[in-house]
Amino acid sequence: MDVASIITIIIAIVVIYCIIRFVVSPLIRLIAGIIVFLIVIYILQNYFNFSFNQFLGPFSKYIDIDKIINSFNWIISPIASYINKVVSFFKLIWGNVPKTY
């Protein structure tokens, strides 16, 4: 290999690293943050009967958070079912652990 091809490879690796570091990683964090926020709102609404519309007051007719969350059920429901399956699996495992006294 000559010096020009080595420099080209190094520049390509640096460019790919910078793209992943400064573009892809923040996008993944942003998407994960939005999904976590939606899951928290879903859990609050379904299990604790919490309504965000009561805090918005007169603006609740313009921004209906309950309706927005219901429109995201296609992604929240599978995640909630996976969480319920994981919890029941750990309860099953924890229940079958031999007790030592």
The pLDDT, as a whole number, for residue 15 is: 92
Q: How far apart are CA 53 and CA 64, in angstroms?
A: 7
Which residues are within 8 A (CB) of 39 and not within 5 positions of it... i.e. 6 or more apart? 76, 79, 80
Q: Is residue 83 part of a domain?
A: yes
Asked if residue 13 has pLDDT above 90, the reply is yes
Q: Is residue 100 part of a domain?
A: no
Number of domains in the chain: 1
Whether 101 is in a domain gets the answer no
Which tops the pLDDT comparison, 74 or 4? 4
Structural domain harbouring 57: 3-95
Q: How far is CA 17 from CA 7, 20, 24, 26, 46, in A?
A: 15, 5, 10, 13, 42
Is the per-residue pLDDT at 101 higher than 70?
A: no
pLDDT for residue 14 is more than 80: yes
Report yes or no on 40 lying in a domain.
yes
Q: Is residue 44 part of a domain?
A: yes
**12 is a domain residue:** yes
Query: pLDDT digit string (tens) for 40-91?
Result: 877 787 788 887 777 777 777 777 777 777 777 787 788 878 888 888 888 8
